[in-house]
Amino acid sequence: MENDTQHGYPNLPPKVFLFILIANIIGTNVFIPHYFTLEFAFSIWTWSLFADIVFIITMTLSLIIPLKLHAKNGDIFTNGLICGGLVYFGYMISWFFVCNLSDEFSMDDYTLVYHGYWGALACMITSMIMMAKTDPNYIDSKQKNNVKCPNCNKLLRVPNTFTGNANCTGCDNEFRVVSLNGLSVAVEVGEIPDSVNHSE
Ligand SMILES: [Zn+2]
The stretches of the chain forming alpha helices (DSSP H) are 12-27, 39-43, 49-73, 76-101, 117-132, 136-142
Looking from the CA of 198 toward its CB, the CA atoms found within 13 Å total 3
Give distance in angstroms: CA of 157 to centre of ligand 1: 12
Looking from the CA of 147 toward its CB, the CA atoms found within 13 Å total 31
Give distance in angstroms: CA of 186 to centre of ligand 1: 11
Instruction: Report, as an integer, the average pLDDT of 41-58.
Output: 96
Does residue 1 have a pLDDT over 50? no
User: Rounded to two decimals, what is the model's pTM?
Assistant: 0.74
> From CA 28, how far away is CA 39, in angstroms rounded?
9
> From CA 50, how far away is CA 101, in angstroms rounded?
8
Q: In degrees, to the nearest 5, what angle opens at C-alpha 84 toward C-alphas 79 and 88?
A: 145
Instruction: Report, as an integer, the average pLDDT of 96-125.
Output: 95
Give distance in angstroms: CA of 175 to centre of ligand 1: 9
What's residue 190's pLDDT?
64
Give distance in angstroms: CA of 174 to centre of ligand 1: 8
pLDDT in tens, 58-82: 999 999 999 999 988 889 999 999 9
The counts of H helices and E strands in the chain are: 6, 5
